[in-house]
Amino acid sequence: MKYSLPSSIISPQDLTIAIHEVQDYSAWAHHETIKQKVGAHKPTVAPELNPATAELLGGWSKVNGTTADSYRQLIESLEHIANHAPTITITLAAPAPQQVKEHIVAWCRHSLAESVLVTFSFNSTILGGLVVRAGSHIYDWSLHRRLIDSAHSFTEVLNHV
């Protein structure tokens, strides 16, 4: 079953965490179902989920239900994405806030690939802009690169100041 990730699951690490949390939650839900069937009166507390996994499970459950088979399908879909999704690394001049990351990931999933996973890093020496690594390709749109590429015109401007 094909599944689209929410924009709050950004990186391969986020996806790995979500898979493990869904597995734990599925096992807990299965045990709770058995307890209800045999008449046990003492429910246990659900495993704690990070917000991204909670969003993922909520969206999945609305469409596909909360059965053990449904959770198994979700885990299989997530594992397929983890094994086959394209990944890119985006380097910025400073750490990006979560909202900016989600916005960039939403754009990447709309414009590049539906299941792309993005790793963010930062390097203050790029001064501004960004550097994108996709496989063996590097696309450098940093201010540092622009200054190096136009070093002659930059020094001319400084000489006239």
Q: Which amino acid is at 39?
A: G
- Shared domain for 51 and 105, answered yes or no, is no
Maximal C-alpha separation, the chain: 86
What's the whole-number mean pLDDT along residues 93-117? Answer: 93
- β-pairing, 137-142 vs 117-122, is unpaired
From 115, 96, 97, select the one nearest 106 (Cα to Cα). 115
pLDDT value at residue 128: 86
Instruction: Decide which of 61, 84, 107 is a domain's last residue.
Output: 84
Domain-embedded: residue 25: yes
More confident residue, 126 or 116: 116
Mean pLDDT of the chain: 90
φ, ψ for residue 40, nearest 5 deg: -70, 135
132 and 116, same structural domain? yes
**What pLDDT is stored for residue 150 in this prediction?**
74
Any idea what DSSP says for residue 125? G
CB 55 within 8 A of CB 8: yes
pLDDT of residue 19: 97
Answer whether residue 111 is part of any domain.
yes
